[in-house]
Structure 1
């Protein structure tokens, strides 16, 4: 009998108290800190679907182009094109729709400006980061060719699209 009593006393000494999980309702789990405890909702799905995620904006380039048929003076322009080739084709198509038969691109520019300068005998095109810079470059080409009566005939600028 004594052995049983000793065994019973020893079993109480080494026994640990079992604790419940915190008494939170379904869908919540316990959270605690120094001197406080509460229940918080369990996450609903993977972390990337929770809350609002910040999306880094990016710039999508835009191209502008000028095309001309120097035999009859028809010209076309394009802007907001996604590629250089698309911009040139669009400008050449507009030139052709205005009666041009041998339309070709004379200036193409990405996220900037294109300008056409005309004179008594020729047409010049160039591009630049600003309208003023593009006009100055095209005008310089005109005057360098000894053309007379150089003047800005057309300018167009495009900016990248922020997505």
Structure 2
């Protein structure tokens, strides 16, 4: 009797396995039409692999900004007007000129306008004081380090004939992009 029950149990297990397999040989899957299995077909490549999700949609955009440097003087003393983060070149130049003139200078001029860059001002000094007849240098570059290095090199070269001149970085900044969400 025990043998009979074991035989029935084995038959039921085999029947359920056969049903789960649905009669397709290894390497094939059931193909259906109108909800009923009609045949078996080969497993497509990538069938068991995780599907890539769709590329992420951007949530906004980066807007490049402008910066500018203006320079003027009062009684041979130079003054600067600087700005960053403006949306247009004209806006940056206007703001730099206004900042320069806010000290009382009447002869402010744009020395440099730059977009999505960094800048540095190198100024010649003698005995630690600004050298009024020397040439300052404004440089735009990818980083403040690059801009500072080039500005110092140019300042030293432009003011080399004057003994005792040392060039110093007196300003450095970057006009960073602004993220605008959609």
Report the TM range for the smaller structure's normalisation.
0.5 to 0.7
Q: 2:168 aligns with which of 144, 151, 154?
A: 151
Tell me, yes or no, if the aligned pair for 2:135 and 2:158 is still in contact at 8 Å. no
Deviation at 1:122, TM superposition (A): 2.7
* Runs ≥4 residues deviating over 2 A: 54-57
SS for the counterpart of 2:176 is coil
Considering fraction of residues, name the structure with more strand. Answer: 2
1-structure distance, mates of 2:151, 2:111? 11
SS for the counterpart of 1:91 is helix
> What RMSD over aligned residues (CA atoms) do the two structures have, in Å?
2.1
Task: Give deviations 1:9-28, integer Å, cap 9, x for gaps.
Answer: xxxxxxxxxxxxxxxxxxxx
Deviation at 1:111, TM superposition (A): 1.1
Q: 2:177 aligns with which of 153, 156, 160?
A: 160
Any unmatched runs of 5+ in structure 1? 1-32, 36-53
Query: What TM-score, normalized by structure 2, do the two folds share?
Result: 0.57
Tell me, yes or no, if the aligned pair for 1:113 and 1:127 is still in contact at 8 Å. yes
2-structure distance, mates of 1:126, 1:115? 6
Query: What TM-score, normalized by structure 1, do the two folds share?
Result: 0.63
Q: Number of matched residues?
A: 114
2-structure distance, mates of 1:155, 1:103? 19
Tell me, yes or no, if the aligned pair for 2:137 and 2:155 is still in contact at 8 Å. yes
